[in-house]
Amino acid sequence: MTTPSTILAESSNRSVLERMHAWAVTVDHKKLGVMYILCGLVFFVIAGLEATLMRIQLIVPLNDVLTPQGFNQMFTMHGTTMVFLVGMPILLGAGNYLLPLMIGARDMAFPRLNAFGFWLFLFGGILLYFSWIGADGLYGSGGAPDVGWFAYSPLTSRTFSRGNSTDYWILGIMVSGFGSMTTAINFLATILCMRCPGMTMMRLPLLAWMMLVVAVLVLTAIPVLTAAQVMLLFDRTLGAHFFDPQQQGSAVLWQHLFWFFGHPEVYILILPPFGFISEIVPVFSRKVIFGYALMVAATVGIGFISLGVWAHHMFVVGLPPWLNALFAASTFLISVPTGIKIFNWLGTMWGGRIRFSTPMLFATGFLGMFIVGGLTGIMLAVVPLTHQLSDSYFVVGHFHFVLFGGTVFAIFAAIFYWYPKVTGRLMNERQGVWAFWILLLGFNLVFLPMHISGMLGMPRRIYTYQPGRGFEIWNLISTIGVPVQILGVGLIVWNMIRSLSRGAIAGNDPWDAWTLEWSTPSPPPEHNFDRIPTCTSARPLWDRKNPTDPDEHVE
Amino acid sequence: MRSGHGIRWVVFWLLACVILFQCPAVAGEAALCAPGDTASIAPTVVQPSIFHPLSPPARQIESLAWLVMGICAGIFVIVEGLLVFSIVRFRRRSMESGEPVQLYGSNPIELAWTVVPLLIVFTLGLVTIRVIRDVERETPPEGALEVICIGHQWWWEYRYENPLSPQGEIVVANELHVPVGRPVWLRLESADVIHSWWVPSLAGKMDVVPNKTNHVWFVAEEPGLYLGQCAEYCGNQHAGMLLRVNATSPEEFDQWLSHQASKPVDEPAVAAGKSIFLELACSTCHTVAGVSDGAFAPDLTHLMSRATIASGVSPLNRQTLRSWIDDPQNMKPGCNMPSLKLTTDELDDVTAFLCTLK
């Protein structure tokens, strides 16, 4: 029998070494999911510290806390870490943990491939960070990569990037990218083949639908990045000239390849959060999701369109005007399914009896902030306006509203929501509410002013700025927001650690929810379900709890 | 027949949009403004801001910005309003028990919030295409002054065609001079990595890409010093790659041009500095007309006619010039000019020589 005290309970009578060994060799999707998320959170703290250093450098004009190269390394590592080592592992890790439980399976389709993927991600990340020690190479110039997470050629060529730092960037991301691909294959096979009896595709939890589309996007986008990185590696080490303009290579080709990966990547980072919100909002509004079928259609639509919008990152590269217009049109188009989702969530809340527990607080915060990020995104689709705003701080503000106000808030919502399932204990509610408001305040202090400094002409990625241009006050406010944000994140981390031993016992189903993972004990046993459940609608537990008014009658 | 009504409204909207955006008055033709009475006004510093446009493309983008921000603000108020209303109105009250009515969806409502956003983005799409047509020119405006702009790590080079100069062109660094009221057609090229030319008050930015020729155009409407800076990450000193555009009256501009075309005065008093300049590495990179012809670094023929040094990082005078030559890495860490470890005397001599390059 599993006791619901801690996640380590089942093995508590073994030595530390034995327990560590058990985690290292595990192929259990739950343990792997937890390891993904914990490693992601560690990288999150590291990337946060890098961002803090940048904000300290930018607190006043002509500051010299960091050297120019030091600053450039900070934004390169911050961006690379947040995208590849925080966003993807936490989201794929959550998928790893939740998918088999939500669809009534005992594990992922390929458990050992799953473990392989996790270790590839982790060692890829460590390889990237090892650059700080190892990238000096033969040239004595190096350290961490300083070419930006987008690594535009020809800045990445041997001529302009000496030493081995760029090679570390290529290899670290390539290795963890292979990990993401194996995970995506696993997701596809699991969702398509491992659903419990009765769970048709149109009864799939929305999170699983979003993860399915994410898996397709990962398999479409990451190989393109990997191929481009191999080409770059050839350029750098074997004397190829794919991206070398001096030898009739093309600098713009890299941008096409990178953003063909890069834009779907944005949806890889936002679709799972959409999934979290689609699970959390109905449960706490006590209403079924409004427009399930349209939600699915919108998700698939976003997946398709996201493969055809990449050149909106390149509106000032000098592509032909008709091409810019075409990509503006596809970008406008993708805002429609995204808008549908927001309206469907609002429709779900409408007429509900909303409980504002911490998961719902963070989910509501997500909605409020993501709307802002979405609208500034529409502004950036207006090509001539992007001639002004591209590569300015406005863009930094925009995508942090999407990826922090959106993705990170949704991740915290998910952590508060599923923590009791993973650990058997609830997180502290009062601390959670405090953390939410502090984080919301800090987040807006940091990122709202960036919209203004961008419109005043402040470009991104500058290690310092000239006084008297009107940037000072906005940068000062941004930096003041940093400690507030750190306090908010710190409270959540503290809450997670403390609740592990002190949280209230959660029981199987603390939120009175409707998907299958809440029918197992918390934490779930290694085999997940004693008997494989059957499923009668998209809300199997609703049907069990409300036998007089089951969903199956509605379908 | 409510759906019939709906379809009629949609068709009406589409037609209205198409007609409206064919009308030049809405998007505003990029009218080239006439030069104003400029001679008497002292040049003012124009800080970079997209809301302080003094050139047709920047103006058009600004009015577009207000339109788009207005539409987005409207959506923002409605959607966030609905969110706040739901939070307040539908929060669970303590006396309520049991589950609320389950509503699985509604085809008309879902259709509405699919079609309405489609119409909005269709409208925005038409406005966008309309303004792209005006702002992204593929041919130079009539009577334009054509200047070649070359981005280097981390400075700007400008080349003017000029018959007065022996080479047929004038090469200057970092400070672009243009006449007020005349269109300028900048041909953007890069010597190394990607840069981006961005002076917000004049025009939107355009990337400066190696092995690819881009263009940007503007008409400075008022005399003044327009500020901006490189907007594409280009390495260590990306932040130290500042842009300065001096717009002056056409007469002043012509004067400036003919001065730049002239050869510098050869002063025997600074021969010592000149020989150091020639013997050490300086001349490998820097051109001084009639003295050296290095091509990697800024042309110094009329160095002292500029207001700044190191691509705008510092004002230019004898002291700053001397400390720059002494150790460029101090003023602009990471830049490509090395410190030549000159003695104090050598430093004075070279500075004296460069100060004659007026």
Task: Tell me the domains of chain A and their CATH numbers.
Answer: 9-553 (1.20.210.10)
Instruction: Choose among A481, A482, A474, A479: nearest CA to A452.
Output: A474
- Which residues in chain B are contacts of A245 at CB distance < 8 A? 209-212
A130 has pLDDT over 80: yes
A554 has pLDDT over 70: no
- Which residues in chain B are contacts of A325 at CB distance < 8 A? 128-129, 132
pLDDT at B36: 41
Asked if residue B322 and residue B255 are part of one domain, the reply reads no
B1 has pLDDT over 60: no
Instruction: Retrieve residue A349's tokens.
Output: 């809340």
Q: If you average pLDDT over residues A229-244, what whole number do you get?
A: 95
pLDDT at B146: 95
pLDDT in tens, A83-104: 999 999 999 999 999 999 999 9
* Pairing status of strand B292-293 against strand B287-288: antiparallel
Asked if residue B256 and residue B150 are part of one domain, the reply reads yes
A151: left (phi over 0), alpha (psi -120 to 50) or beta: left
The minimum CA-CA distance between A487 and chain B, rounded to whole Å, is: 26
Interface residue B42 vs chain A (CB under 8 A): no
Residue type at position B57? P
Q: If you average pLDDT over residues A164-185, what whole number do you get?
A: 95
Asked if residue B335 and residue B244 are part of one domain, the reply reads no
Provide the pLDDT confidence category of residue B2 given band limits of 50, 70 and 90. Answer: low
pLDDT in tens, B148-173: 999 999 999 999 998 877 778 999 99
A549 has pLDDT over 90: no
Query: DSSP of A68-114, one letter per residue?
Result: HHHHHHHHHHHHHIIIIIIIHHHHHHHHHHHHHHHHT-SS-S-HHHH
Residue A392: closest CA among chain B residues belongs to which residue?
A: B231
Provide the pLDDT confidence category of residue B77 given band limits of 50, 70 and 90. Answer: very high
Asked if residue B215 and residue B280 are part of one domain, the reply reads no
Q: If you average pLDDT over residues B265-272, what whole number do you get?
A: 87
∠ CA B316-B321-B323, nearest 5°, is 130
Tell me the ipTM for this assembly: 0.92
Q: How many domains does chain B have?
A: 2
Q: Which of B106, B206, B211 to mutate to test the interface with A (most CBs of A within 10 A)?
A: B211
Q: If you average pLDDT over residues A118-146, what whole number do you get?
A: 84
Query: Is B129 part of a structural domain of the chain?
Result: no
Provide the pLDDT confidence category of residue A141 given band limits of 50, 70 and 90. Answer: low
Q: Which of these three, B260, B295, B326, is where a domain ends?
A: B260
Mean pLDDT, rounded, of chain B: 88
- Which residues in chain B are contacts of A80 at CB distance < 8 A? none
What is the pTM assigned to this prediction?
A: 0.93
Least confident stretch, A4-18, A201-215, A496-510, B330-344: A4-18
Rounded to whole angstroms, how far apart are CA atoms A541 and A519?
7
B positions 281-340 inside 8 Å of A (CB): 333-334
Residue B128: closest CA among chain A residues belongs to which residue?
A: A382
B28 has pLDDT over 50: no
Asked if residue B339 and residue B277 are part of one domain, the reply reads yes
| Helices vs strands, H then E, count in chain A | 17, 0
Q: If you average pLDDT over residues A448-471, what whole number do you get?
A: 95
The minimum CA-CA distance between A434 and chain B, rounded to whole Å, is: 18
pLDDT at B33: 42
Residue A468: closest CA among chain B residues belongs to which residue?
A: B47
Query: Is B22 part of a structural domain of the chain?
Result: no
Interface residue B210 vs chain A (CB under 8 A): yes
Rounded to whole angstroms, how far apart are CA atoms B116 and A139?
59
Q: Which of these three, B202, B234, B260, is where a domain ends?
A: B260
Q: Which of these three, B229, B260, B291, is where a domain ends?
A: B260
- Which residues in chain A are contacts of B211 at CB distance < 8 A? 245-246, 248-251
- Which residues in chain B are contacts of A160 at CB distance < 8 A? 153, 192-193, 235
Asked if residue B163 and residue B204 are part of one domain, the reply reads yes
Rounded to whole angstroms, how far apart are CA atoms B201 and A349?
45
Rounded to whole angstroms, how far apart are CA atoms A415 and B93?
26
Interface residue B132 vs chain A (CB under 8 A): yes
Asked if residue B253 and residue B221 are part of one domain, the reply reads yes
The minimum CA-CA distance between A206 and chain B, rounded to whole Å, is: 14
| Residue among A252, A293, A329 whose CB faces B212 most closely | A252
Q: How far is CA A463 from CA A82, A460, B195, B239, in A?
A: 20, 9, 16, 6
Interface residue B95 vs chain A (CB under 8 A): no
Most confident of the following: A67-71, A445-449, B5-9: A445-449
B26 has pLDDT over 90: no
Query: Is B20 part of a structural domain of the chain?
Result: no
Query: Is B18 part of a structural domain of the chain?
Result: no
Provide the pLDDT confidence category of residue A5 given band limits of 50, 70 and 90. Answer: very low
| Whether B83 and A317 lie within 8 Å, measured CB to CB | no
Asked if residue B346 and residue B279 are part of one domain, the reply reads yes
Provide the pLDDT confidence category of residue B189 given band limits of 50, 70 and 90. Answer: very high
Provide the pLDDT confidence category of residue B94 given band limits of 50, 70 and 90. Answer: confident
Asked if residue B204 and residue B155 are part of one domain, the reply reads yes
A204 has pLDDT over 70: yes
% of chain A with per-residue pLDDT over 90: 90
| Between A71 and A9, the higher pLDDT residue | A71
Least confident stretch, A409-413, B266-270, B328-332: B266-270
Asked if residue B247 and residue B189 are part of one domain, the reply reads yes
Query: Is B37 part of a structural domain of the chain?
Result: no
Query: Is B198 part of a structural domain of the chain?
Result: yes
pLDDT in tens, B347-358: 999 999 999 998
B31 has pLDDT over 50: no
pLDDT in tens, B192-226: 999 999 999 999 999 999 999 999 999 999 999 99
Across the A:B interface, residue pairs with CB atoms under 8 Å apart total: 284
Asked if residue B288 and residue B249 are part of one domain, the reply reads no
Query: Is B116 part of a structural domain of the chain?
Result: no
Asked if residue B291 and residue B330 are part of one domain, the reply reads yes
Interface residue B65 vs chain A (CB under 8 A): yes
| Whether A457 and B49 lie within 8 Å, measured CB to CB | yes
Expressed as residue numbers, the domain containing B157 is: 145-260
pLDDT at B21: 61
Q: What is the CATH number of the domain that holds B314?
A: 2.60.40.420
| Whether B102 and A250 lie within 8 Å, measured CB to CB | no
Query: Is B202 part of a structural domain of the chain?
Result: yes
Least confident stretch, A369-378, B26-35, B121-130, B331-340: B26-35
